[in-house]
Structure 1
Amino acid sequence: MLTKNDLQELLDYQAQSPILSVYLNTNPTGGTIEDHKLQLRSMLKDIDAPKDIEIIKTYLDHEYDWRSWCSIAIFSNADENFFQAYPLAVDVRNRARLHHCPYVKPLAALFDAHSGYGVVLIDKQQARFFSFHLGELQAEARFSGEDVQRQKHGGGSQVTGRSRGVEGIAETPDGDTQRNMQEAANVAAKFLKTNNVRRVLIGGTTENVSAFQEMLPKSWQSLIVGSFAMSMNAAYGEIQEKALEIGAETEKHREEKLLQTIITEAAKGRNGLTRFGEILSAIKEGRVQTLVMKDGYKKDGYRCQGCGYITVQKLDKCPFCAGEFEHISDAAELAVRNVLQAGGSVKVVEDEKNTLDEYGGIVALLRY
């Protein structure tokens, strides 16, 4: 499973020779294994890295499990004996880059869109909890409470490490339901916190979902992004598919809202920027909180070989250290790396409404 530490290692890796980064969609719904290999050959035909290409092909032929994953990200630098492969449970767009550092922009987008999801299935007696990271199941648990069909005396709810004891609730079938919901909410809060969940989906009947939401601590209520109808006995694959579906739709709405916030802030001369040159200066100063760009955005630029300052202007000397500049083919990729290393976030969006086109394809929300 690809983790934040893995992403950080890729950000920290400084190659002395070019490294080949490959993102390949291998979803069986998109074609056969041979179809995907043909796509790979097409991507790599104009890339001059024969040793790395051979290493990647060998890995895919003999080690990669084509039927278990939706896509894969691979990074290879044969000259420095560096190779990392990360199978993914979510789709990526096919692309390949040969550069002096790993091409991490697609991974940054995946982390922003698909990490930190928690799912709770709830009914009057039971609850199931799931944590998803990049579409992959990270953890799961189950809670079983009082049988609400008949009154039980001397029994208790069943969940590891917990005991019954919700005070102030009557010993009636309705009381059992309320007590079960409250205990399930308590267990859910601990599960979600332990697994670093930041977006919550709840499945069940409308009545049960509504009752459960009210019993969650307000801090978790604010992180609920959607609900859906789902049987308590639903298969894992069905739950995963629904979580990805609702998550994608929710993310689209969040992106649209964020874009409007940045554009409004920029128009008022406050904490929004819509010009790439100004954005690069803000990145240099560590002021960018969130960088948002259209998928496929790429722009030439120049990087100071002394302090690493990036600009779209061709300057003789760096204004910060008087160093020499070198031309770079993708200044946006280096901007992404710098924002992530400074603790900011990056969103790579489809932008179906073409909102970003008016602003050159990239905008930024500032910390100050």
Structure 2
Amino acid sequence: MLDQKQLRELAGFRSESGTVLSVYVNTDLTGQSKERARLVLREALERIRNQANAEDVSRIENYLDREYDWQPRALALFSAADDSLWRTFALPVAVQTEAHAGAVPYLKPMAQLLEDYSRYAIALVDREQVRLFLVQLGGIEEKEGWVGQEVKHHKQGGFSAKQYQRREDQLARQNLRQSAEATTRLMEQSHATGLILGGLGETLPRFREMLPKALQKRVIGTVALDMEAPLTQVREKATELISAGEQEQKARLVDEMITAAAKGAGAVTGLPDTFYVAHQGRVRTLVVERGFEAPGYLCDGCGYVSAEPIGKCPFCGGKPEPIADAVNRLVQKVIDSGAKVEVVAPSAVLTRAGHVGAILRY
């Protein structure tokens, strides 16, 4: 499964002897045939054929024709034969077919996918056990959970019944504690963005109280689910909650960034300022409008990208040359630095601010 580590590895790649061919292919056959998907790919490759290495073009075409099984809904490929680069990523969500050739991989669609489909953990719990899941990129995977001792209910009255019920309640608390520990381990190991709690009745609030305080703050919501719920139902409920939560979170992020930038307090907006702080390594979170592209000027010395033509690089004195998509360079630089990229839906407020901005580290 695609993750941030793989994205950073690609972001750190530079072709020393040729070009990198980056290709994204929509292979979702629910609305098209294989022949149609191949035709759209050929058209995309034809548009950049003069810029790409012929060996890379041939390798990608052969992979689709002879090796790919057409099961995933999309595919991302990166090839640079002169530099021994060949990476393929099967994607469980559809993407637009496009091809790009340049000195670095074209990563904006990958960054957008990872932000739109961040990894979340789900803990489906009752008084006896917990089922654990990871959701990312539209897919769901059930992980190893924890099953405790059976908890029974005593239906008759009397003193002995109360003693019996107290023991059963104590056993349930012990089970919930063990379930909370298993959930905490999954969150630590998976580096999930947030946690969703699922279940029925009074179990969920009790279970939440047993989680570490820091983990309680990462719970994004709860869903009503039976312990025997199938994977498809768990994924559907979780996806609805995640989508609503992320839209709200990204809207708040844009507002906070623009407000902070207006006060000159830890944020910038617009391409010129964002390019500048990115080159300084000051970006903590890059916020870029989905689909936003713009040309720019790349310094041949230190790699600084400017929005406007300049005679001399302010960092090394090198000579900036025009490039077609400066925004991709910005995204790559930020990913390479270990910072976060948030791709957000177009909005009037962000458009007025220049389509892009950044929350700063310092």
Same fold (TM over 0.5): yes
**Which of 328, 336, 341 is the equivalent residue of 1:333?**
328
| Alignment partner, residue 26 of structure 1 | 27
Does 1:189 pair with 2:189?
Answer: no
Residues 234-253 of structure 1 mapped to structure 2, 5 A cutoff:
234-253=229-248
For residues 93 and 348 of structure 1, the distance between their equivalents in structure 2, rounded to whole angstroms, comes to 16
User: Which residue in the other structure is 1:2 paired with?
Assistant: 2
Q: Does the 8 Å CA contact 2:20/2:103 hold for their aligned counterparts?
A: yes
One-letter amino acid of the counterpart of residue 132, structure 2? F
| Corresponding residue of 2:41 | 40
**1:357 and 2:330 matched:** no
Q: Secondary structure at the match of 2:277?
A: helix
TM-score of the superposed pair, with normalisation by structure 1 = 0.87
Which residue does 2:319 correspond to in 1? 324
Mapped pair 1:274 → 2:269 = yes
Q: Is the 8 A contact 1:318 1:324 kept in 2?
A: yes
Mapping of residues 300-319 of structure 1, within 5 Å: 300-319=295-314
The 3-state SS of whatever aligns with 1:313 is coil
1:154 aligns with none
**C-alpha displacement of 1:120:** 0.8
For 1:92, the equivalent position in structure 2 comes to: 95
8 Å contact from structure 2 (residues 24, 95) kept in 1: yes
**1:226 counterpart (221, 229, 244):** 221
- Provide TM-score, normalisation by structure 2: 0.88
Q: Distance in 1 between the 2:97 and 2:352 partners?
A: 26
Gap change, CA 1:320 and 1:108, over 3 Å in 2? same
* 1:166 matched residue in structure 2: none
State the AA in 1 paired with 2:355. G
Question: Which structure 1 residue ranges, 5 or more long, are not aligned?
Answer: 152-168
Shift of 1:129: 0.9
CA distance in 2, matches of 1:24, 1:229: 37
Is the 1:131–1:192 contact (alpha carbons within 8 Å) kept by the matching residues of 2? no
**1:117 and 2:120 are equivalent in the alignment:** yes
- In structure 2, give the amino acid aligned to 1:355: V
Question: Do the aligned residues in 1 keep the contact of 2:25 with 2:41 (CA within 8 Å)?
Answer: yes
CA–CA separation in structure 2 for the residues paired with 1:79 and 1:122: 52
Picking from 247, 255, 260, the partner of 1:260 is: 255
In the alignment, which residue of structure 2 is the partner of 1:160?
none
Deviations 1:289-320 (A, max 9, x none): 11111111111111111111111121122222
| 1:212, distance to aligned residue in structure 2 (A) | 1.7
**Which position in structure 2 is the counterpart of 1:210?**
205
Name whichever of 298-307 and 204-213 sits farther off. 204-213
> 2: CA distance between counterparts of 1:349 and 1:25?
22
Tell me, in whole angstroms, the C-alpha distance in 2 between the residues paired with 1:94 and 1:263.
33
2:285–2:340 CA contact under 8 A, matched in 1:
yes
Paired residue type of 1:276: L
Query: What is the CA-CA distance between 1:133 and the residue it aligns to?
Result: 4.3
CA contact (8 A) 1:339 1:346 kept: yes
How many aligned positions are there? 349
Q: How far does residue 170 in structure 1 lie from its aligned partner after superposition? A: 7.3
Q: 2:47 corresponds to which letter in structure 1? A: D
What letter is aligned with 1:40? L
Deviation at 1:271, TM superposition (A): 1.4
Q: Which moved more, 1:23-32 or 1:211-220?
A: 23-32
1:24-49 deviation digits (Å, cap 9, x = unpaired):
23234443433433332333331214
When residues 79 and 333 of structure 1 are mapped into structure 2, their CA distance, relative to the original with a 3 A threshold, is same
Q: Matches of 1:25 and 1:148 in 2, distance apart? A: 49
Q: Aligned partners of 1:37, 1:97: CA distance in 2, in Å? A: 17
> Residue 21 of structure 1 contacts residue 74 of structure 1 at CA under 8 Å; is this kept in 2?
yes
Query: Would the aligned equivalents of 2:20 and 2:79 in 1 still touch at CA under 8 Å?
Result: yes
1:275 positional shift? 1.9
The 3 A distance-change label for structure 1 pair 2 and 250 is same
1:54 to 39, 58, 74: 58
Verify the 8 A CA contact 1:139 1:195 in the aligned structure 2: no
Identity of aligned residues (%): 35
Q: Deviations over 1:226-259 (max 9, x none)?
A: 2212221222343334333432332211111100
Instruction: Show the counterpart of 2:361.
Output: 367
Q: 1:73 to 1:273 in 2, by over 3 A?
A: same
Residue 68 of structure 2 aligns with which residue? 64
Aligned to 2:247, the other structure's residue is in SS state helix
Write out per-residue CA displacement over residues 127-164 of structure 1, whole angstroms, 9 at most, x where no aligned residue: 1012344444566012212222257xxxxxxxxxxxxx
Question: Equivalent of 1:201, from 196, 212, 223?
Answer: 196
Q: 1:265, CA displacement in angstroms? A: 0.5
From the superposition, tell whether residues 94 and 207 of structure 1 become closer, same or farther in structure 2 (CA, over 3 Å).
farther
Cα distance between partner residues in 2 of 1:142 and 1:319: 55
Contact 2:258 / 2:353 at 8 angstroms: preserved in 1? no
The 3 A distance-change label for structure 1 pair 229 and 70 is farther
Shift of the 170–264 alpha-carbon distance from structure 1 to 2, 3 Å rule, reads farther
For residues 238 and 148 of structure 1, do their structure 2 counterparts lie closer, same or farther at Cα, with a shift above 3 Å needed?
same
* CA spacing shift, 1:258–1:13, aligned 2, 3 Å: same
**Judging changes above 3 Å, is the alpha-carbon distance between structure 1 residues 265 and 170 closer, same or farther for their aligned structure 2 residues?**
farther
